[in-house]
Homo-oligomer: A and B are copies of this chain.
Amino acid sequence: LDEKDEQFIRASLDGVNPADITQLLYEFDTEESKYVIDLLEKQISAQIINDLDEDTRTEFLGAFTVTEISSFLDFLDSDDCVDILMELSLQTREEVVALIRDEQKARHIQELLHYDEDVAGGLMAKELIKCNLNWTIRQCIEEIRKQAETVQKIYSVYVVNNTGKLIGKVSLKKIIIAEDSAKIADIYDDDIVSVATHMDEDEVASIMRKYDLEAVPVINAKGRLVGRITIDDIVDVMQEQAEEERQLMAGISDDVEEDDSVWKLSKARLPWLIIGMVGGLMGARFIGLFEGDIALIPAVAFFIPLITATGGNVGIQSSSIVVQSLANPNVFAESMARRLVKVLTVAVLNGLILALLVFGSVILLYKEEFLAITVSIALFSVVLLASFMGTITPIILDKFGINPALASGPFITTANDLLGLGVYFTVANLLYGIF
């Protein structure tokens, strides 16, 4: 590459799958990558730019002129064009759209730019094959032939009536098997699942999973067919969801990867660390109220980590079970009251077992009954409270439209640390006062 041996590069990349070239480019810097992209056929370059991850692409696109960017868009589906355009500044975006040669495509892209990124309208592509209810198979095949260039993968042909309303579909298999003279009206399948333009992407994903669909048509408020969402976009949505959840559970506040800059990595991690630190300082303040007790019986301090760690563990377990139910609409939600009764039953059972184990261990190791009683009563109460908090927090977050997985992260640990300390020292203070 350093020697800019065009011939050699062209020869070695010929016939290689674009997705593999994309992987290679991650090893190059922007200038080198641009050099390679310029050598390739426009169609392959367009595919590669489409495959790049968002951060790399945003940076990379800066190296191209608006004319170059617009020429890539000629080879991409409308939904992918919109994704790329959204990464450009408003001005560049308009310039690029103005340069798209295919007028219909430019119109489609303008339409798609209006939708939010995370609803069905923002995921759908305009490229699809539709046929009228009154057509014959022959007319339908003619239409497929005409659109063969624009629509890469067909899956099904959608059937609309004269007003453009979606009323069914015909699979390619059926079209191949049917006689050329057969009428669409006689063979189409009217049992069709569709989604509305404003449907949230999570809901679209769960519908496509539920019915095992590889593509789903999108309809507007009037029932007219306006686009199509394919499974590859939904696979990306699922991937993003999993990553977002992992980040929330880990207390990372930005979408970072290991190969991001040191500064970006630090910045993403600091917010929750600082919140945890403030929680820790509040905990210190609180324990300080019992300074007298600690000076008198230092052993009380020994069990602080046991109490806080158990509270944290129980809280995260509880919340993640609720998060799972919320994410999985297959499971019928039990009533709130029954849910809490069950959570508390489990908590009582686990709390009792843990408390008994700790009671035995403290008696064995320290031979101090008061201490054993204090620690085990506190532990039992903490398990109960942490279960309750862990169950209720994700449900409340979800009600307010916040991703409930947030409740499985440092949020619940910090809250439960404080809660645990409160319970522990209150119990200790009371019991040692009694005896």
- Residues of chain A at the chain B interface (Cβ within 8 Å): 15, 17, 19, 23, 26-27, 53, 141, 144-145, 148, 151, 153-155, 171-173, 175-177, 191, 193, 208-212, 214, 231-232, 234-236, 238-239, 241-243, 245-247, 249-252, 256-259, 262-263, 265-266, 269-270, 272-274, 276-277, 279-281, 283-285, 287-288, 291, 294-295, 298-299, 301-310, 312-314, 316-317, 319-325, 328, 330-332, 334, 339, 342, 345-346, 349-350, 353-354, 357-358, 361, 365, 408, 410, 413-414, 417, 421
Contact = CB atoms under 8 A, between A and B. Distances in A.
B245 A246 contact: yes
A336 B249 CA distance: 25
Contacts of A410: 313, 316
Contact of A214 (B26, B214, B239): B214
Nearest to A329: B23
State how many copies of this chain the complex holds: 2
Contact of A242 (B27, B245, B266): B245
Nearest to A16: B191
B281 A291 contact: no
Nearest to A234: B235
B305 A265 contact: no
B53 A330 contact: yes
Contacts of A414: 309
B154 A172 contact: yes
Contacts of A288: 299, 302
A236 B316 CA distance: 25
Contacts of A295: 295, 298
A280 B304 CA distance: 8
Contacts of A172: 154, 172-173, 176
Contact of A330 (B23, B171, B249, B303): B23
A306 B328 CA distance: 35
A316 B328 CA distance: 25
Contact of A321 (B17, B153, B257): B257
Contacts of A284: 302-303, 305-306
Contacts of A246: 245, 249, 320, 323-324, 408
A293 B59 CA distance: 55
- Please indicate which of the listed interface residues A258, A295, A354 has the most CB atoms of chain B within 10 Å of its own CB: A258
A287 B299 CA distance: 9
Contacts of A332: 23, 26-27, 259
A350 B272 CA distance: 11
B177 A148 contact: yes
Given A235-B231, A330-B23, A365-B281, A313 B413 contact: yes
24 contacts: A19-B211, A141-B176, A144-B173, A144-B177, A172-B173, A175-B176, A214-B232, A235-B238, A238-B242, A242-B245, A249-B408, A258-B331, A259-B334, A270-B353, A272-B317, A273-B310, A274-B354, A276-B313, A277-B306, A279-B309, A284-B306, A287-B302, A298-B301, A309-B413
A175 B141 CA distance: 11
A339 B272 contact: no
A145 B179 CA distance: 12
A350 B305 contact: no
A266 B176 contact: no
A331 B259 contact: yes
A310 B277 contact: yes
B191 A145 contact: no
Nearest to A154: B173
A251 B312 CA distance: 11
A208 to B, nearest CB: 8
Given A243-B324, A273-B310, 18 more contacts: A17-B193, A26-B331, A53-B330, A209-B236, A234-B235, A238-B238, A242-B242, A246-B408, A249-B249, A257-B321, A262-B346, A262-B349, A269-B314, A274-B357, A277-B310, A280-B309, A312-B312, A312-B413
Contacts of A350: 266, 269-270, 273
Contacts of A307: 280
A17 B191 contact: yes
